[in-house]
Structure 1
Amino acid sequence: MPKRAKELTATAVERLKADGEKNRRVMVGPSDCAGLHLRLEGGTKSWALRIKVGDKRRDIGLGPYNGKVGMTDEEAGRADGLSLAEARTKARELRRMARETGAVVSPTAAVREAVRAEAQAAFIDAAKAKTFKECADLCVADKRGEWKSAKHELQWMATLKTYAFPKLGPLPVGTIDRGLVLDVLRPIWNTKNETASRLRGRIETILNWAKVNGYRDGDNPAAWKGNLEHSLSKRQKLTRGHHAALPHAKIGTFMAELTQREGVAAKALHFAILCASRSQEVRLAKFDEFDLEAQLWVIPAERMKAGKEHHVPLSEAAVAIVAAQKAVKIKGNDYVFPAPRGGKLSDMSLTAVLKRMDYADLTQHGFRSTFRDWAGETTAFPREVIEHALAHQIADKAEAAYQRGTLFPKRVKLMEEWAKRCSSADAVGGNVVSLKGAA
């Protein structure tokens, strides 16, 4: 029979010396704790259990020795290390585990796992305490490289600061729910729908960012589909186009009045109408973008809504405006339509011309609709030609690539006919209508 270890008492174990001169192991018994021993190494005393798991024998460390002599049970429970009784309890548990499962988990490994789990839980708690404002700042920092300009970021943050941060900013992002999102959107949804719609999208983006980065769980309460669409009016039912436009039947009379106006802003508006261009494309136009001999204007991608370079065929009338501006070019200012005090025209300068002409209900952008209606209703040019003239994107990329090369000659003819219409007398009158579907 295998030799059984003598069952030592707590006093005997306490008397064992760890002098650092000779390392040794002392089995402490009893039989149901076979393999339990005290390691006396380097002046320290620690517990270990020698046990066979499957076909392999291994030593499992249980932790340092602490006799806990003279301590109360409460004090012993708080003290580090294991007494003899506590070591025997752990040894019995590990031996039972080995018999029943064929495996054991080291107490020190279990402690490490518990510490890791506790740290993870603390991290999760801290993460979920991250505020909406903090997440918004981090989200904006991550997305900064996607935006065309610093102005885009300023617009993003301005909307959030005005409408979202007062209610959502200090709240833990994990607590933002559907009701809170609606509290932000409802006050402006019917009166400032364009702003509210953009705000909703920005809140949705921030909450998606927070979820991906571990700061919140669950569905996005700012999502539109299957969510807010059931609580807020659909946008198209609220705004049937926000750019007032002149009926094309009245464009001749209007342009005759416009050509009588003095000033750079009036010339910029005239040019924008002839080219069916957006305000920013015209106000920031520079002379090096134009080839007047080829009657071509190349707008850089960074100034286009679609982010792609756009080639604009210039009518004779449009070329004449640019040539006249070049003749009076201000030294050091490369803008075709410079502000009176230097630099670029403001984004309200073209609208101001309309107000001075007593057309306060019109917008510069609305003349793109005037052009679209005229081209679609009175000419035989295909839809694709007209859409390209307006720099609208075509959904099918292959089709768009093909048309980009084949439609330009037709666009040249289209823009020349539009210039002729703008300089012609009107046959009939009309009323101001709303722009539908303009970009």
Structure 2
Amino acid sequence: MPKRTGRHPEKALSAVAVRAAKPGRHADGNGLYLEVDPTGARRWLLRLTIQGKRRDIGLGSASLVTLAEAREMALDMRRQARNGGDPLADRRRAQRRAPSFEEAARACHDEHKASWKNDKHAAQWLTTLETHVFPTLGPVTVDAIGTPEVRDCLLPIWLKTPETARRVRQRIGTVLDWAAAKGFREGENPVRSVIKGLPKQKAQAEHFVALPYAEVPAFLARLRETTKAGPMVKLLLEFVVLTAVRSGEARGARWSEIDLVSKMWTIPSARMKAGKAHVVPLSPEAVAVLEGAAKLRTGDDPAALVFPGEKSGRSMSDMTLTMLLRRLEVNATMHGFRSSFRDWCAEATTVPREVAEAALAHALESKVEAAYRRSDLLEKRRDLMEMWADYCEGIIVTGA
């Protein structure tokens, strides 16, 4: 009688038996089987208990994997399972191809864009990567990207355009975090430590340049008289000042958002920085600006832009307003007029802080305060905006 062995029982398969095996499942021992289909196709199967659960693992076709090779593979997997590992999961990871950075970025973008506040941001998110990252990291698989690769990618723009560089860095990090969550890479995200290998950026100005509020009335008088811009551009700039909104919110305003009867402008959440709809009470002066814009309308589409740009259906660019300020030699930014308004509230009125902050659609820093303040203070804000408009007209304002 043949001897028993620790690895294979008496009925262990032989190379001849593998070739002659009939349809069915044939045991070799220790969980290794040869499966034969009615068609004659032969393949190896290993049955294992992995972390308390029974698993069947295919080891390949018997026409490609010999009996000796199947036994060796089975032995390695049994050892791994006995030591607490998961050979099936490891095998799947090894067989999974990591995408290139560009492939990962586009997939990440597709999954995330629905949660972003507007289409413009979604487009800019991808455009910055196409411009600054894809030329170098685009073809590199995400599992091969480390701190040196990220550093070399960021270095050309790190000091030249700091704000853009910081955004690119954050977006590279988002893509690599996505790749890690999908199982394409392991270890710490290299973006978190890359700044240590980059030169120190100069401190950035924390505040937008603002026109002192005492100069705003004179500025508006000059704006109305200037011939350095068309009437629609001048109306838009005045509307921004009178309503204290962000430039983009005014540039994107549509007639369907305006209620001239109740003198209110409702900005939808999709166009607000905080993602929450904001109602702007309109002063008589702001309504007069809208009436001026209405006279320049070329149609009656309620969804049309209030302050359209030169291209049909397109809003004006922020640069159009900035260039007008430069031509008027005004040392201020468009966003700075919000600061002018806020300074006036604090220094020239007794209006409570929460009313001024609500007028600017600022989110409350205190979560407790935000939870208890359920009113949008609309009527108080209406009084405030009328006081501001009066001030801008040169009327002396006192009280709240």
Q: TM-score band, normalised by the shorter chain?
A: 0.7 to 0.9
Tell me by how many angstroms 1:109 deviates. Answer: 8.6
- Taking a change above 3 Å as real, the CA distance of residues 242 and 30 of structure 1, as seen in their structure-2 partners, is same
Tell me by how many angstroms 1:81 deviates. Answer: 4.7
Checking the alignment, whether the CA contact within 8 Å between 1:36 and 1:49 is kept in structure 2 is no
TM-score (norm 2): 0.75
Select 1:203's aligned residue among 172, 190, 209.
172
The residue number in structure 1 matching 2:214 is 249
Select 1:228's aligned residue among 168, 174, 195.
195
The residue number in structure 1 matching 2:308 is 338
Letter in 1 for 2:329: D
Mapped partners of 1:109, 1:162: distance in 2: 46
Unaligned runs of 5+ in 1: 1-6, 8-28, 51-58, 65-77, 83-89, 91-104, 427-439
> RMSD value over aligned CA atoms?
3.8
In the alignment, structure 1 residue 392 sits paired with structure 2 residue 377: no
Select 1:132's aligned residue among 101, 105, 113.
101
Select 1:304's aligned residue among 262, 272, 295.
272
Structure 2 matches for 1:30-429, cutoff 5 A?
30=3, 36-37=10-11, 44=21, 80-81=66-67, 116=88, 119-120=91-92, 122-124=94-96, 126-127=97-98, 130-223=99-192, 228=195, 231=198, 233=200, 238-241=203-206, 243-261=208-226, 262-333=230-301, 334-340=304-310, 342-347=312-317, 348-359=319-330, 361-397=331-367, 399-400=369-370, 402-405=372-375, 407-424=377-394
Mapped partners of 2:296, 2:9: distance in 1: 101
- Taking a change above 3 Å as real, the CA distance of residues 107 and 401 of structure 1, as seen in their structure-2 partners, is closer
Checking the alignment, whether the CA contact within 8 Å between 2:211 and 2:336 is kept in structure 1 is yes
Letter in 2 for 1:228: I
Tell me by how many angstroms 1:228 deviates. Answer: 2.5
Task: Tell me which structure has the larger Cα radius of gyration.
Answer: 1
Mapped partners of 1:394, 1:211: distance in 2: 34
- Taking a change above 3 Å as real, the CA distance of residues 251 and 425 of structure 1, as seen in their structure-2 partners, is farther
Tell me by how many angstroms 1:231 deviates. Answer: 4.9
Mapped partners of 1:60, 1:337: distance in 2: 76
Cα-to-partner distance string for 1:352-375 (whole Å, 9 max, x where unaligned): 32233233x432122111112221
- Taking a change above 3 Å as real, the CA distance of residues 320 and 175 of structure 1, as seen in their structure-2 partners, is same
Mapped partners of 1:317, 1:400: distance in 2: 31
Secondary structure of the residue aligned to 1:405 is coil
Tell me by how many angstroms 1:328 deviates. Answer: 4.3
- Taking a change above 3 Å as real, the CA distance of residues 243 and 117 of structure 1, as seen in their structure-2 partners, is closer
4+ residue runs over 6 A deviation = 31-35, 38-41, 59-62, 105-109
- Taking a change above 3 Å as real, the CA distance of residues 285 and 48 of structure 1, as seen in their structure-2 partners, is closer
Checking the alignment, whether the CA contact within 8 Å between 2:210 and 2:339 is kept in structure 1 is yes
Mapped partners of 1:296, 1:121: distance in 2: 58
TM-score (norm 1): 0.69
- Taking a change above 3 Å as real, the CA distance of residues 36 and 412 of structure 1, as seen in their structure-2 partners, is same
Letter in 2 for 1:188: I
Tell me by how many angstroms 1:133 deviates. Answer: 1.6
Mapped partners of 1:339, 1:398: distance in 2: 42
Checking the alignment, whether the CA contact within 8 Å between 2:77 and 2:87 is kept in structure 1 is no
Cα-to-partner distance string for 1:225-276 (whole Å, 9 max, x where unaligned): xx62685547xx6211363221112111111101224510100110110000
Tell me by how many angstroms 1:61 deviates. Answer: 6.6
- Taking a change above 3 Å as real, the CA distance of residues 327 and 222 of structure 1, as seen in their structure-2 partners, is same
Identical positions, percent: 37
Mapped partners of 2:385, 2:300: distance in 1: 31
Checking the alignment, whether the CA contact within 8 Å between 1:61 and 1:107 is kept in structure 2 is no
Mapped partners of 1:394, 1:174: distance in 2: 41
Mapped partners of 2:162, 2:221: distance in 1: 36
The residue number in structure 2 matching 1:431 is none
- Taking a change above 3 Å as real, the CA distance of residues 270 and 398 of structure 1, as seen in their structure-2 partners, is same
Unaligned runs of 5+ in 2: 36-63
Cα-to-partner distance string for 1:290-321 (whole Å, 9 max, x where unaligned): 22232211111111111110011111111111
Checking the alignment, whether the CA contact within 8 Å between 1:164 and 1:184 is kept in structure 2 is yes
- Taking a change above 3 Å as real, the CA distance of residues 401 and 408 of structure 1, as seen in their structure-2 partners, is farther
- Taking a change above 3 Å as real, the CA distance of residues 229 and 368 of structure 1, as seen in their structure-2 partners, is farther
**Number of aligned residue pairs:** 350
- Taking a change above 3 Å as real, the CA distance of residues 416 and 219 of structure 1, as seen in their structure-2 partners, is same
Secondary structure of the residue aligned to 1:148 is coil
Tell me by how many angstroms 1:145 deviates. Answer: 1.5
Mapped partners of 2:31, 2:341: distance in 1: 85
Mapped partners of 2:312, 2:300: distance in 1: 9
Mapped partners of 1:35, 1:303: distance in 2: 74
